Amino acid sequence: MDLDAAQAAVERACEEFRSPATAAAASSTLLAFRSAPGVLQVCRHILDRSPSLDARFHAAAALREAVVRDWATLGPDGRAGLRAYLLSYLVAHAEDPGMAIVRSTLVSAAAVLAKRSWLEAGEGEAFFRELDAATTSAPTAASPAAAAAARLVGIALLESTVGEFCVATASPLGLPLEHHAKCAADLQENYLQGIFRHAVGLGRAAAASGDGSTAAACLSLLAAVLAWDFRRSPTAPHPAALRPPAARPPGTGSGAQAPAPSAGSDWASLLLAPDTLDWVAALLSQLSVPGAASSREARELVDRARAVVVAMCNLSPDVFPREGADALSRPGGGVRGGYLRAVLRCVVAWVASPREVVAAAAAGDEAPLWEACKAILALATAHPPRMLEDAGNDVLAAAGTPAAAAASGGGGFLALLQALTLEVIRASCAYPAHSLEQWASECRDMLVEAWALMVQRDSSGANQALLPLAVGGLGPPTLPGLAEAAAGVFSGLVEAALTAADREAAGEGDDREEVAAENEAAEAEAEDARMAEAAALARAAPAAAFPLLAAAMAAAQQQLLAAAAGGGSGGPAWASALERLCWLVRMAAHALADSGAGETPLMPLPLSLAAEGGGGAAAVGAVVGLTQALLELPALALRDGASSVLSPRLMESVVWALARWADTYLFPEEAEAEGLPPALVSAYATRGPGSGAESVADGIARLACTCLVKYPGEFSLHAAVCTTLLPVLSRRRPLCACLLDASPAWNELAGAMASRQPALTAGLEPKLQRWLAQCLAQAACGFPSSTPVESPHVGVAAAAAVAAAAAANVSGYINRLLGPTAAEVRSLAARPDLAALTSRADVAAALIGMLEVLRGGACRGVASAGPAARVAAWGLLAELLGPLLALQAAFGEHPGVGGRLLKLAAAVVEHHVGYLPTDQAHMLMGWVLGLLRQYRQGRAARVSVAAAVAAAAEAAAGGRRPGGGGGASGAAALAADAAHDAARELKALLELLTHITQRDVALAAAASEGWGADSSAGSTPRSVNMGAGGGAGGTPRAASNGNAAAAAAAAAEADSGVAQVVLTGLDVLLPLLTPELLAAATAAGAGGGGGGGTGGKLARLLFSLLGYMTEVHPAAVVALPPPHFTTLLSCLEAGARGAISPPAAAGQAGGAASGAAAGSSAASGFDGVVVQSALEGLAGLAKFHHQSLLNGGRGFVSQTAPASGGGGGGGPLAPYLVSLLLEVALLGDAGPEVVELVGDGLLPLLQAEPAAFQGLGTALVQNADPRVQGQVGAALARLVAPDAAAAGGAANGGGAAAVAAAANMGLDTSVLDLGRLGRRAFKERLCGVVAELRGLLRVR
Amino acid sequence: MSDHEVETFDSADAGASLTFPQQAGTVRKNGYMVMNNRPCKVVDVSTSKTGKHGHAKCNFTGIDIFTGKKYEEMTPSSHNVDVPNISRKEYTVIDITDEGIVSMMDEGGNTRDDLFLPKGTDEADKLAEIMQQHWADQKEMAITVVKAMGEEMINSVKVINEKS
């Protein structure tokens, strides 16, 4: 018989599978069996008859797959029959221990079957009814053991069902997500509570009767239900969903994962009923008697019970009914109190004696500790600490065990928690950070996080209902004992950190250093998060914790001095003192100040509230004390010879810590200073003889100097000073004023930079020189009244005089700061032997530094220092324009200098072009033009050859080692490097051009009427002249003529300057964009890789610039000389097709392979930004044409489309554009947003050039499949004339005629107009037509 | 203007010295540096510390600009390293002999014929091939000769007059 044969085959395969020789063949047989059609019958046959367990298992697995696959062919009766069969089979074989795996497979098959047909009416009911009948009712006739086994099967099936229905753990059914969601919602709505109740009932009974296995099964079912991903049904939003969820403070995301949405208040009666948990607690206490849980089953039972308790602890606050404050503060604590007591009774029991628990964990049994920590963290997240403590105290009192009492010292719950935390901290100290014993550090992190949450949540006893967002620290803890306990924990943390520091200092090996280097950043971040939590503890009790920290710092400092005095620099004592100080200064900064990232730094809220509160003086004193301790270290560093004692790493920490502190406390802006307590204001924000603030600021500035000068070659320290500390010092006006006025160190630093001291030039990386110059220049904002003072008491003239004096001050400062550098650049450029100097490494290095200083100081720095500084800097730069051109001519080929020169030019344009008067702007534009031309002369031909060589070298390397990207040969690496350099320069160039367009914005603001007239004026003779001048190399001035009114002329002239410069730049740029560069660009854009980041940006910059130019300056673009215009257009075309290819190649690809290019768009890194910009550019061109024709101009008739062989002469432009746009829309699968962009360009073209559309439409119709020609014609006709659609459609077979007729009607401006409504209607029509045409054109 | 700068710019005139000392910490990727007595382009720099509280060290990886060989070197970042003076000079090609000797002329009309076609690396061979091709096609070429530490090599070529 067939079934028997199949059974035999499967059994044989199972046999053969055991032998390695035949395993492969056997596994393929089994796989084929699984996917064979109509396998269900065979499966049942095997399950019923086969003696082989293996065969049965494979049959079960095949059945599970077949249920999904063949479900549709089964029919309702077949499904019901299969379900009944499965249930009866499971029950019948429930007792056989060898069948466990077969059973579990079948259980999941049954769950899948149930879910697959769940949404049919009555299925759910039927499933549970049959399940109940099969597992509880029927087997009562048989032996009690059989009944128990059947019950177990039922529970397992329920658990599997819950898992299957939960969206996160569902198996794929080949059905949309919606089906899963509906099933989940239905189960949650109608059955889940029943399942829970059922499990509780069964479990309670089993626990009472000592049936361990049933109890364990019930517990895991409970855990599965509690882990359910609760979602509110969209129809009936739960009231809790309207409230913002209880937010967790940012930065405390570590430790426990954020709990899934938990059950809502409709579950309250079920979850919070006392008898839900009491049997679990009883079970646990019964099993926690020493010796009770010796067997494996018992241990498993305990584990599951713990898991259920932890899951219960994770309930969100939404579950709990709203209770008044009085109910919560009653003895017993209302419903929530009752719940807390119930769970805490279990949890506290696990950790009743902290020392023993931790010792047990160390001995290998860490589960109780781990689970308890999870539970405590979850409870601390969701519940106010006051309630927790009340409940905990009650539980402890009730337990009354001597051990607990002894451990907690009679201090109640908080004391117990503190003791536990301290024990865990101690234990985590005993294990190094990277050891395999993860539990210690993880438990420590969880407990500390719980403490941090508790001190931050304990907000003056506020009612949760009143303050749903009460997390986040509203003041000092009000719960008696909490602050003290937190301080105790904090001191434990400090102690542990100091011990860890000693160990770090002593045991440093090279191998560990390597490991650490790999994930250094991640570790530093985690350490920062830990410190932030510890800081929360310290801030809760500043009066206790801060002096502790200060004392520890003083002690470590003494230790350091002693070690240094004993000549022990380099010894273990020295190293451990340094390591301790590193940790302590960072901790102190964390405790004193928030990071202030992205916002105005303020004094941390707990501290400022503590300072305002009753014990304010003590808190302020603590802050001052800790600050003084923190400031001790810089004082130490300023002594002679300190650099040999204080390591660079420590200085880095000190610099970081001081920057953080200074950002909050040192001379804040007035508005921020109001938040500071008066004592702190007078200490650190007031100038004058009585205050030490000036000397503090001076000291910090001197520290910056010292770090830069006394620690040569310490790159990361220099970077910390230049990019972290100095920006903080130069950000705020009052602080800058103080530094400029009263800090000799700051002025020394500025003087040293100005006079180009070796330590700040040759000894500092160019990038850092730029930062330094930027910060120093930025500080010019601190000059008094460098902003005009609006005072009623001062007359206008006096105010003007004051402002002038201030401006003189500022410009004096800027000139002193940057003048020498500028002079140096000038004198270098004027050297007669400049050509010979270009080979000198030192000259190039110095020049690079000077260019960076100018970029930082004269561009970025002054931009934030106000108008006076900007004017002064421009004065310097204006004299440098000529010399910089000379330097570019000489040094342009130097890889470092050339790129930086372009970057400097980009920065000059970015920060100055918007503010210059017209003549100056023209000077700048002319300079940029010169720069561009010179760059082209230097680069144009050569780069492409170099790139070809590079490509050849890469091809050769790739040929030798196919796929071997890792070890590129030296030459290839050099070539790749050269390509990188080129890409960087091109990016700078593009940025330069993009920034030039800012001038447009400035002009638009200045002379909006002239601007508006010009942009819509179409092809006037003036712009044609201008464009021709650009091609021939004329100056911007040559473009102007006297036709227009004076204001418009000025605007237009400058405007034309913009267009001319940018277009010349593009002319330079486009030939340089090699295929490799843009290919790398797209690849990098798609992959988001770090190395090619320049590339992705490059393409985007290029196309947005192109799009901008054709949109805003279409007249100038159209007036370009034809070859240039063609290049531009091919580039736009390449972008619009999404297939990024260089203009040269695009010229070839453009005409030849229209379909292929569009088809490849999806494959070759489709970049939305690029396509959008390119299409916008094309639309701009089309609109210009339309407008120009309306005004009687010629539009872009003078230009021709790119020919297929590259270059111009490819026929008239309009048909080309229409066909390009239609191709983009029709071929490929661009989304509606792209089609709408196409519509923007298509509409004006259709209106202006109906003939072009007609020709193309006719061609489209004729090329289409004969069967659909009529429909294609009708669709195209509908595009231009919706009303004519009926007529066109009726003319079946005459599609071409319909198009022609409709296209002629298209000229009717009442049908198509360019108003917003008309555009929108057209776009909608286009989307519909495109969808239809896509389908029609693909008919094969 | 500080005395320091004036002095260094003037002291060593062109050709007087092959290298110039620079602090190791300021040599970054893409810079040049002498490694193993060869002029190299730095392709990778990483920093490390001698122990937790020691001074910074720089680990350089460089590629010989003439031979393409790779070198590695480690230096305390406060020490000086030698940076090669590198000059680029442009010539017009006037002859390429069968032996691969290139005759060239600089802007001033001075000729020299002491350089061979580039060879030794894939890139150089390819460049030589291109030059020979151009020469066979009778195109006029400008070449750039790179000179560092007394060694010279033709480094790039461009066709300056496409029509001829």
Residues A1137 and A990 in one domain: yes
A967 in helix, strand or coil? coil
A256-299 tens-digit pLDDT: 333 445 666 677 777 777 777 888 888 887 777 766 666 777 88
∠ Cα A1155 A1160 A1165 (to 5°)? 150
A841 and A980 in a single domain? The answer is no
CB contact under 8 A, A713 and B63: no
Widest CA span in chain B: 66
pLDDT value of position A1281: 67
In chain A, the residue whose alpha carbon lies closest to the alpha carbon of B71 is: A970
User: Is the CB of residue A929 less than 8 Å from the CB of residue A1064?
Assistant: yes
Three-state SS annotation for A785-843: CCCCCCCCCCCHHHHHHHHHHHHHHHHHHHHHHHHHHHHHHHHHHCCCCHHHHCCCHHH
Asked whether residue A889 falls in the same domain as residue A1021, the answer is no
For the ranges A164-168, A332-336, A1019-1023, B55-59, the maximum mean pLDDT occurs at: B55-59
How far is the C-alpha of A1185 from the C-alpha of A1164, rounded, in Å? Answer: 32
CA atoms of A990 and A1065, how far apart (whole Å): 8
Phi, psi of A622 (to 5 degrees): -65, -45
Asked whether residue A139 carries a pLDDT value surpassing 70, the answer given is no
Out of A574, A833, A974, the one facing B68 most closely (by C-beta) is: A974
The domain total for chain A is 3
Which of A579, A583, A581, A623 minimizes the C-alpha distance to A603? A623
Among B15, B41, B48, beta carbon nearest to A977: B41
What's the CATH code, domain B86-161? 2.40.50.140
Q: Residue A715 is nearest to which of B56, B64, B69, comparing CB atoms? A: B56
* Mutation to test the B interface, candidates A816, A840, A900, most B Cβ within 10 Å: A840
Residue A499: pLDDT over 60: yes
Say what the pLDDT of residue A7 is.
Answer: 87
Closest residue, chain B, to A816 (C-alpha): B1
Identity at A781, one-letter amino acid code = C
Whether pLDDT at A1148 is above 50: no
Examine the pLDDT at B71 and tell me if it is beyond 50. Answer: yes
User: Which residue does chain B place closest to A711, by CA atoms?
Assistant: B78
Question: Are A140 and A87 a contacting pair, CB within 8 Å?
Answer: no
Has residue A572 got a pLDDT over 70? yes
Q: How far is CA A272 from the centre of its chain?
A: 40
Give yes or no for A833 touching B (CB within 8 A): yes
Q: Once rounded to an integer, what is the mean pLDDT over residues A1085-1099?
A: 47
Q: Determine, for residues B76 and A971 on separate chains, whether the beta-carbon distance falls below 8 Å.
A: no
Distance between CA atoms of residues A427 and A440, nearest Å? 6
A200 near A222, Cβ under 8 Å?
yes
Gap from A931 CA to chain B (nearest CA, Å): 20
Interface subset of B 102-161, CB within 8 angstroms of A: 121-124, 126-127, 130, 144, 147, 156-160
Are A803 and A785 within 8 A, CB to CB?
A: yes
Q: Determine which helix (DSSP H) or strand (DSSP E) holds A948, and give its type and residue range.
A: helix A918-960
Shared-domain flag, residues A984 and A1097 = yes
Choose the closest CB to B28 out of A763, A765, A973.
A765
**Sign of dihedral through CA atoms A523, A524, A527, A532?**
negative
Shortest Cα distance from A850 to chain B (angstroms)?
A: 12
A-chain residues near B122 (CB < 8 A): 952-953, 956-957, 969, 971-972
The pLDDT tens digits of the residues spanning A144-187 come to 778 888 888 888 888 898 888 887 788 877 777 778 888 888 88
Kindly identify which residue of chain A lies nearest to residue B148, measuring between CA atoms.
A839
Q: What percent of chain B has pLDDT over 90?
A: 11
* A1215 and A1262 together in one domain: no
Map tokens 């008739």 to a residue.
Answer: A1197
**How many angstroms separate the Cα of A233 from the Cα of each of A186, A187, A295, A619, A1057?**
9, 12, 44, 49, 62
Single-letter amino acid code for the residue at A656: W
pLDDT digits (tens, 9 = 90+) for A1030-1067: 333 333 333 333 333 334 444 444 455 677 788 877 77
Residue A1325 lies in a domain: yes
A571 shares contact with chain B (CB less than 8 Å): no
H/E run at residue B21 = strand B19-23
* Shortest CA distance from B5: residue in chain A: A756
| Smallest Cα distance from A799 to chain B, Å | 36
Please tell me what DSSP assigns to residue A289: S
CB B111 within 8 A of CB B94: yes
Answer yes or no: is A57 within a domain. Answer: no
β-partners of residue B44 are B61
| Lookup: tokens for A420 | 């536990």
Q: A110-114, A333-337, A355-359 — which one is most confidently predicted on average?
A: A110-114
Check pLDDT > 90 for residue A645.
no
Better-predicted residue by pLDDT, B126 or A1058: B126
- Do A935 and A871 belong together in one domain? no
Could you give the CA distance from residue A1101 to residue A1097 in angstroms, rounded to a whole number? 6
Q: Per the CB < 8 Å rule, is B47 touching A836?
A: no
A1222 located within any domain? yes
pLDDT at A581: 92
Residues A123 and A110: their CA atoms lie apart, in Å, by 13
* Cα-Cα-Cα-Cα dihedral sign, residues A1093, A1095, A1096, A1098: positive
Tokens of A827: 């004198």
Collapsed DSSP state (helix, strand, coil) of residue A688: coil
Rounded mean pLDDT, A834-852: 87
In a domain, A415, yes or no: no
Contacts of A1138 (CB under 8 A, 6+ apart): A1158, A1161, A1162, A1164, A1166, A1167, A1170, A1171, A1228, A1230
In a domain, A620, yes or no: no
Do A1287 and A1244 fall within a single domain? Answer: no
Statement to judge: residues A882 and A823 lie in one domain: yes
Q: Do residues A825 and A873 both lie within one domain?
A: yes
Whether the pLDDT of residue B15 is over 50: the answer is no
pLDDT digits (tens, 9 = 90+) for A1186-1210: 888 877 777 777 777 766 555 555 6
> Do the beta carbons of residue A52 and residue A14 sit within 8 Å?
yes
Which value, to the nearest 10 degrees, does the dihedral of the CA atoms of residues A1004, A1010, A1015, A1020 take? -150
What is the rounded CA–CA span in Å between residue A1161 and residue A1229?
A: 9
- Indicate the range of A471-485, A990-1004, B129-143 predicted with least confidence: A471-485
Please give the average per-residue pLDDT across A514-525, as a whole number: 68
Distance from C-alpha of B15 to C-alpha of B33, rounded to nearest angstrom: 18
Type of residue numbered A745: A
Using DSSP bridges, classify how beta strands B56-64 and B38-49 pair: parallel, antiparallel or unpaired.
Answer: antiparallel
Strand order in the sheet with B32-35: B32-35, B38-49, B56-64, B70-76
Q: Do both A1217 and A1312 map to the same domain? A: no
Q: Is residue A1072 part of a domain?
A: yes
pTM for the predicted model, two decimal places: 0.77
Q: Has residue A917 been placed in a domain?
A: yes
A/B interface, count of CB pairs below 8 Å: 187
Give the pLDDT band of residue A853 (cuts 50, 70, 90): very high
Residue A268: which residues within 8 A CB-CB, separation 6 or more? A319, A320, A321, A335
The pLDDT, as a whole number, for residue B119 is 80
- The interface residues of chain A toward chain B in range 512-551, judged by CB-CB distance below 8 A, are 513, 517
pLDDT at B164 over 50: no
How much of chain B exceeds pLDDT 70, in percent?
Answer: 88
Q: Is the pLDDT of residue A585 over 90?
A: yes
Cβ-contact A388, A457 below 8 angstroms? no
One domain for residues A852 and A938: no
Reported as a pLDDT band with limits 50, 70 and 90, residue A91 is confident
Tokens 């690496």, residue? A973
Q: What pLDDT is recorded for position A654?
A: 93
- How confident is the model at residue A699, as a pLDDT? 92
Handedness of CA A836, A929, A1111, A1011 (dihedral sign): positive
pLDDT at A988 over 60: yes
Residue A510 lies in a domain: no
Which one of A945, A981, A984, A985 would you mutate to disrupt binding with B, by most B Cβ within 10 Å of its Cβ? A945
Can you give the pLDDT at residue A137?
66
* Selection from B154, B50, B17 nearest residue A946 by Cα: B154
pLDDT score of A135 more than 70: yes
Please check the confidence at residue A532 and state whether its pLDDT lies above 60.
Answer: yes
Q: Please tell me the number of Cα atoms within 13 Å of B141 on its side-chain side.
A: 28
pLDDT at A508: 53
More confident residue, A1309 or A676: A676
Task: Tell me whether residues A970 and B67 touch, CB distance under 8 A.
Answer: yes
The structure tokens listed for A482 are 């909490």
Average pLDDT, chain A: 75
What's the distance, Cα to Cα, between the start and end of chain B in Å? Answer: 50
Give B-chain residues touching A839 at CB under 8 angstroms. 14, 85-88, 147
Pair A1311, A1283: CB distance under 8 Å? yes
At B46, is the secondary structure helix, strand, or coil?
Answer: strand
Residues of B in contact with A518 (CB under 8 A): none
On whether any CB of chain A is under 8 Å from the CB of B74, the answer is no
Nearest to A1223 by CA among A1153, A1297, A1302: A1153
State the residue range of the domain holding A1290: 1256-1337
Measured between beta carbons, the chain A residues lying within 8 angstroms of B121 are 953, 969-971
Mean pLDDT (whole number) for A386-408: 70
| Spatial contact of A307 and A348, defined as CB atoms under 8 Å apart | no
- DSSP string covering A842-902: HHHHHHHHHHHHIIIIIIIIHHTT-HHHHHHHHHHHHHHHHHHHHHHHHHTTSHHHHHHHH
Tell whether B163 is within 8 A of chain A (Cβ).
no
pLDDT at A1031 (0 to 100): 32
| CATH number corresponding to B15-84 | 2.30.30.30
Q: Which two tokens stand for residue A813?
A: 């400062």
- Cα A609 to Cα A603: distance, rounded to the nearest angstrom: 10
Q: Which tens digits make up the pLDDT trace of A663-713?
A: 888 888 877 777 788 888 888 888 877 778 888 999 999 999 999 988 888
Alpha helices in A566-647 (DSSP H): 572-592, 605-612, 616-637, 642-645
Q: Are A468 and A243 in contact (CB under 8 A)?
A: yes
A1149 and A1071 in a common domain: yes
Q: Residue A980: its chain B contacts at CB < 8 A?
A: 30
Question: pLDDT digits over A897-931, tens only?
Answer: 888 888 999 999 888 888 888 888 888 888 888 88
